[in-house]
């Protein structure tokens, strides 16, 4: 899921009091019903949200993410993502080679089981979190 979808989910939950039935969230978040569970999973994986019993609830980190400036959220992700797969593997690959062709990296992520769309979203998260950069539109380099 995209960064904007996760942040959108966090903001909706925050605006609804910090804890809400997931069914009410679906109407307010710009994702299909089937994708909402993936957005919730992504937020939960990042420690920003807890889900259980049909409810979603912001964690302290999730509440802070909503209230902090975007740059601070990027710093949070820069600390958090390197310990989460597939970001850990992505950073190791790019760091070990110093630069990887964009399409090679997408193929690498596809080899880990992601479709092309998912692979590109993972790369977008890594760029947003300033783990890697895109150089000349065709190379992925360490940030």
**Would you kindly state where each structural domain of the chain is located, as residue ranges?**
3-66, 78-142
From CA 40, how far away is CA 22, in angstroms rounded?
A: 9
Domains 3-66 and 78-142 share a fold: yes
CATH code: domain 3-66 is: 1.10.10.10
Query: pLDDT, tens digit, for every residue of 75-99?
Result: 999 999 999 999 999 999 999 999 9
Query: pLDDT, tens digit, for every residue of 47-56?
Result: 999 999 989 9
pTM score of the predicted model: 0.84
Burial (CB < 10 A; 0-12, 13-18, 19+), residue 136, is exposed
pLDDT score of 23: 79
From CA 57, how far away is CA 63, in angstroms rounded?
A: 9
Burial (CB < 10 A; 0-12, 13-18, 19+), residue 58, is buried
Question: Could you tell me the fold of the domain covering 78-142?
Answer: Arc Repressor Mutant, subunit A (1.10.10)
Give how far the C-alpha of residue 64 lies from the chain's centroid of Cα atoms, to the nearest Å. 16
More confident residue, 59 or 27: 59
């Amino acid at each position: 899921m995209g960064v904007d979808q996760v942040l959108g989910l966090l903001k909706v939950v925050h605006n609804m009091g910090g804890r809400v039935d997931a069914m009410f969230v679906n109407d307010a978040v710009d994702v299909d019903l089937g994708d909402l569970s993936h957005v919730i999973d992504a937020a939960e994986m990042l420690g920003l949200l807890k889900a259980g019993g049909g409810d979603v609830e912001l964690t302290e980190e999730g509440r802070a993410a909503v209230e902090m400036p975007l740059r601070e959220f990027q710093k949070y992700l820069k600390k958090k993502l390197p310990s989460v797969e597939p970001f850990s593997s992505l950073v190791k690959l790019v760091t070990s080679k110093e630069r990887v062709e964009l399409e090679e990296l997408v193929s690498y992520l596809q080899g880990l089981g992601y479709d092309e769309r998912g692979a590109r979203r993972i790369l977008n998260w890594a760029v947003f979190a300033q783990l890697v950069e895109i150089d000349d539109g065709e190379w992925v380099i360490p940030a």
